[in-house]
Protein backbone atom coordinates (compact mmCIF):
# COMPACT_ATOMS: atom_id res chain seq x y z
CA UNK A 1 0.00 0.00 0.00
CA UNK A 2 2.81 2.35 0.90
CA UNK A 3 4.53 1.63 -2.41
CA UNK A 4 1.32 2.38 -4.31
CA UNK A 5 0.90 5.70 -2.49
CA UNK A 6 4.51 6.61 -3.25
CA UNK A 7 4.03 5.85 -6.96
CA UNK A 8 0.83 7.92 -7.07
CA UNK A 9 2.52 10.83 -5.28
CA UNK A 10 5.46 10.73 -7.72
CA UNK A 11 3.12 10.72 -10.70
CA UNK A 12 1.14 13.63 -9.28
CA UNK A 13 4.29 15.69 -8.79
CA UNK A 14 5.51 14.90 -12.32
CA UNK A 15 2.15 15.83 -13.87
CA UNK A 16 1.97 19.06 -11.88
CA UNK A 17 5.50 19.99 -12.93
CA UNK A 18 4.84 19.32 -16.62
CA UNK A 19 1.63 21.36 -16.49
CA UNK A 20 3.52 24.25 -14.87
CA UNK A 21 6.09 24.42 -17.66
CA UNK A 22 5.84 27.48 -19.87
CA UNK A 23 7.10 27.11 -23.41
CA UNK A 24 8.94 29.70 -25.46
CA UNK A 25 6.85 28.92 -28.54
CA UNK A 26 3.69 29.92 -26.68
CA UNK A 27 5.13 33.24 -25.52
CA UNK A 28 7.20 34.64 -28.37
CA UNK A 29 4.38 35.77 -30.69
CA UNK A 30 2.31 37.26 -27.88
CA UNK A 31 5.29 39.13 -26.42
CA UNK A 32 6.99 40.33 -29.58
CA UNK A 33 4.38 41.67 -31.98
CA UNK A 34 6.53 44.31 -33.68
CA UNK A 35 10.26 43.74 -33.09
CA UNK A 36 11.32 47.30 -33.94
CA UNK A 37 8.73 48.87 -31.64
CA UNK A 38 9.21 46.29 -28.92
CA UNK A 39 12.98 46.90 -28.77
CA UNK A 40 12.43 49.62 -26.15
CA UNK A 41 10.87 46.96 -23.91
CA UNK A 42 13.64 44.43 -24.53
CA UNK A 43 14.55 43.78 -20.89
CA UNK A 44 10.92 43.09 -19.98
CA UNK A 45 10.50 40.82 -23.00
CA UNK A 46 13.62 38.82 -22.16
CA UNK A 47 12.69 38.40 -18.50
CA UNK A 48 9.00 37.63 -19.08
CA UNK A 49 8.94 35.82 -22.40
CA UNK A 50 12.33 34.20 -22.96
CA UNK A 51 14.25 33.36 -19.80
CA UNK A 52 12.84 30.44 -17.86
CA UNK A 53 10.77 29.19 -20.76
CA UNK A 54 11.23 25.68 -22.12
CA UNK A 55 11.91 24.81 -25.74
CA UNK A 56 9.76 22.27 -27.51
CA UNK A 57 11.38 19.62 -29.65
CA UNK A 58 12.77 21.05 -32.88
CA UNK A 59 14.13 18.93 -35.73
CA UNK A 60 16.80 21.08 -37.33
CA UNK A 61 18.39 19.92 -40.59
CA UNK A 62 21.97 21.12 -40.99
CA UNK A 63 23.44 22.37 -44.25
CA UNK A 64 25.14 18.98 -44.68
CA UNK A 65 21.87 17.06 -44.22
CA UNK A 66 22.20 15.96 -40.59
CA UNK A 67 19.06 16.17 -38.41
CA UNK A 68 19.47 17.58 -34.90
CA UNK A 69 16.46 16.89 -32.65
CA UNK A 70 16.70 19.08 -29.57
CA UNK A 71 14.93 16.48 -27.42
CA UNK A 72 17.67 13.96 -28.20
CA UNK A 73 20.54 16.27 -27.23
CA UNK A 74 21.64 15.15 -23.77
CA UNK A 75 23.78 18.18 -22.93
CA UNK A 76 23.27 21.96 -22.75
CA UNK A 77 22.77 23.75 -26.07
CA UNK A 78 24.17 27.08 -27.19
CA UNK A 79 21.71 28.16 -29.88
CA UNK A 80 22.87 31.16 -31.88
CA UNK A 81 20.81 33.00 -34.49
CA UNK A 82 22.89 34.84 -37.11
CA UNK A 83 22.73 36.55 -40.50
CA UNK A 84 25.55 36.98 -42.99
CA UNK A 85 24.72 40.67 -43.53
CA UNK A 86 25.23 41.28 -39.79
CA UNK A 87 28.75 42.63 -39.06
CA UNK A 88 28.75 41.60 -35.36
CA UNK A 89 27.91 38.02 -36.43
CA UNK A 90 31.22 37.92 -38.32
CA UNK A 91 32.95 39.74 -35.48
CA UNK A 92 31.95 37.08 -32.97
CA UNK A 93 33.27 34.12 -35.00
CA UNK A 94 36.82 33.90 -33.55
CA UNK A 95 35.51 34.01 -29.97
CA UNK A 96 32.78 31.49 -30.75
CA UNK A 97 35.30 29.13 -32.33
CA UNK A 98 37.43 29.42 -29.19
CA UNK A 99 34.44 28.45 -27.01
CA UNK A 100 33.85 25.39 -29.21
CA UNK A 101 37.49 24.41 -28.83
CA UNK A 102 37.26 24.74 -25.03
CA UNK A 103 33.84 23.25 -24.39
CA UNK A 104 33.19 20.77 -27.18
CA UNK A 105 31.78 17.64 -25.53
CA UNK A 106 30.22 19.62 -22.70
CA UNK A 107 27.74 21.45 -24.94
CA UNK A 108 26.06 21.26 -28.33
CA UNK A 109 26.68 24.30 -30.54
CA UNK A 110 23.91 25.09 -33.04
CA UNK A 111 23.65 28.14 -35.30
CA UNK A 112 20.44 29.11 -37.10
CA UNK A 113 20.69 31.42 -40.10
CA UNK A 114 18.40 34.11 -41.44
CA UNK A 115 20.05 33.22 -44.77
CA UNK A 116 19.33 30.27 -46.97
CA UNK A 117 21.93 27.54 -47.54
CA UNK A 118 24.19 29.49 -49.93
CA UNK A 119 24.65 32.30 -47.42
CA UNK A 120 25.17 29.90 -44.52
CA UNK A 121 27.86 28.06 -46.50
CA UNK A 122 29.73 31.34 -46.95
CA UNK A 123 29.96 31.88 -43.19
CA UNK A 124 30.64 28.18 -42.63
CA UNK A 125 34.13 28.65 -44.13
CA UNK A 126 35.08 30.70 -41.04
CA UNK A 127 33.25 28.65 -38.40
CA UNK A 128 34.47 25.64 -36.44
CA UNK A 129 33.22 22.47 -38.16
CA UNK A 130 31.74 21.22 -34.88
CA UNK A 131 29.07 23.94 -34.92
CA UNK A 132 25.82 22.57 -36.36
CA UNK A 133 24.73 25.06 -39.05
CA UNK A 134 21.05 25.30 -39.97
CA UNK A 135 19.94 27.53 -42.85
CA UNK A 136 16.49 28.96 -43.49
CA UNK A 137 14.55 26.82 -45.95
CA UNK A 138 12.80 29.83 -47.49
CA UNK A 139 13.87 33.34 -48.44
CA UNK A 140 13.17 35.83 -45.65
CA UNK A 141 11.83 39.25 -46.55
CA UNK A 142 11.60 40.45 -42.94
CA UNK A 143 15.09 41.02 -41.50
CA UNK A 144 13.77 41.01 -37.94
CA UNK A 145 12.32 37.50 -37.98
CA UNK A 146 13.59 33.98 -38.54
CA UNK A 147 11.37 30.88 -38.49
CA UNK A 148 13.07 27.50 -38.86
CA UNK A 149 11.21 24.25 -38.27
CA UNK A 150 8.85 25.93 -35.84
CA UNK A 151 11.47 27.90 -33.89
CA UNK A 152 10.70 31.62 -34.09
CA UNK A 153 13.30 34.32 -33.47
CA UNK A 154 12.49 38.04 -33.50
CA UNK A 155 15.25 39.76 -31.55
CA UNK A 156 18.12 40.83 -33.82
CA UNK A 157 21.52 39.23 -34.58
CA UNK A 158 23.64 37.67 -33.30
CA UNK A 159 21.43 36.38 -30.51
CA UNK A 160 22.33 33.50 -28.22
CA UNK A 161 19.97 31.26 -26.27
CA UNK A 162 21.60 29.15 -23.56
CA UNK A 163 19.48 26.04 -23.08
CA UNK A 164 19.99 23.67 -20.16
CA UNK A 165 19.98 19.87 -20.38
CA UNK A 166 16.30 19.85 -19.39
CA UNK A 167 15.58 22.26 -22.29
CA UNK A 168 15.00 25.44 -20.29
CA UNK A 169 16.29 28.78 -21.60
CA UNK A 170 18.45 29.95 -18.71
CA UNK A 171 20.39 32.75 -20.36
CA UNK A 172 19.95 35.05 -23.34
CA UNK A 173 22.10 37.69 -24.99
CA UNK A 174 22.05 39.93 -28.05
CA UNK A 175 24.87 41.49 -30.01
CA UNK A 176 28.64 41.24 -30.16
CA UNK A 177 31.61 43.49 -30.79
CA UNK A 178 32.92 43.85 -34.34
CA UNK A 179 36.00 45.58 -35.78
CA UNK A 180 35.77 49.29 -36.54
CA UNK A 181 38.04 52.31 -37.00
CA UNK A 182 38.18 52.61 -33.22
CA UNK A 183 38.57 48.94 -32.35
CA UNK A 184 40.78 46.27 -33.91
CA UNK A 185 40.45 42.48 -33.91
CA UNK A 186 42.51 41.97 -30.74
CA UNK A 187 40.17 44.10 -28.66
CA UNK A 188 37.07 42.70 -30.37
CA UNK A 189 38.13 39.12 -29.64
CA UNK A 190 38.95 39.94 -26.03
CA UNK A 191 35.50 41.51 -25.46
CA UNK A 192 33.59 38.73 -27.21
CA UNK A 193 35.50 35.94 -25.47
CA UNK A 194 34.87 37.47 -22.06
CA UNK A 195 31.15 37.91 -22.79
CA UNK A 196 30.74 34.35 -24.06
CA UNK A 197 32.65 32.85 -21.12
CA UNK A 198 30.37 34.67 -18.67
CA UNK A 199 27.31 33.73 -20.68
CA UNK A 200 28.11 30.02 -20.65
CA UNK A 201 28.98 29.83 -16.94
CA UNK A 202 25.53 28.69 -15.70
CA UNK A 203 25.77 25.36 -17.54
CA UNK A 204 29.47 24.78 -16.97
CA UNK A 205 29.47 24.95 -13.16
Give 52-108 pLDDT, tens digit per residue.
Answer: 999 999 999 999 999 999 999 999 999 999 999 999 999 999 999 999 999 999 999
Spatial contact of 147 and 59, defined as CB atoms under 8 Å apart: no
The predicted pLDDT at position 154 comes to 84
Give 139-192 pLDDT, tens digit per residue.
Answer: 888 888 899 999 989 888 999 999 999 999 999 999 999 999 999 999 999 999
Sorted by sequence, the CB contacts under 8 Å of residue 135 that are 6+ apart come out as: 63, 113, 115, 116, 117, 119, 120, 121
**Residue 20's pLDDT band (boundaries 50, 70, 90)?**
confident
27 vs 29: CA distance, rounded Å? 6
Burial of 43 (0-12, 13-18, 19+ CB in 10 A): exposed
The predicted pLDDT at position 138 comes to 87
Judged against a pLDDT cut of 90, whether residue 124 lies above it is answered with yes
Closest CA relative to residue 125, chosen from 177, 90, 150: 90
**Residue 41's pLDDT band (boundaries 50, 70, 90)?**
low
State the pTM of this model.
Answer: 0.85
CA distances (Å), 9 to each of 6, 19, 167, in order?
A: 5, 15, 24
Sorted by sequence, the CB contacts under 8 Å of residue 129 that are 6+ apart come out as: none
Q: What is the DSSP letter of 25?
A: H
For 25-39, 141-155, 188-202, which range has the lowest pLDDT when averaged over its residues? Answer: 25-39
Q: CB 16: neighbour CB atoms within 10 A?
A: 9
Closest CA relative to residue 92, chosen from 4, 27, 175: 175
Amino acid sequence: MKKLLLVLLTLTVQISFSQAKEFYKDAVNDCIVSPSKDAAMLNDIVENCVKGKYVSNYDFTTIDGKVISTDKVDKPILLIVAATWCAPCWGEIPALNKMVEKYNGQMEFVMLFWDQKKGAERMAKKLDKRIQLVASSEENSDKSTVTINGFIHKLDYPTAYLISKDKQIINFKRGAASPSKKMGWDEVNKINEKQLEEFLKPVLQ
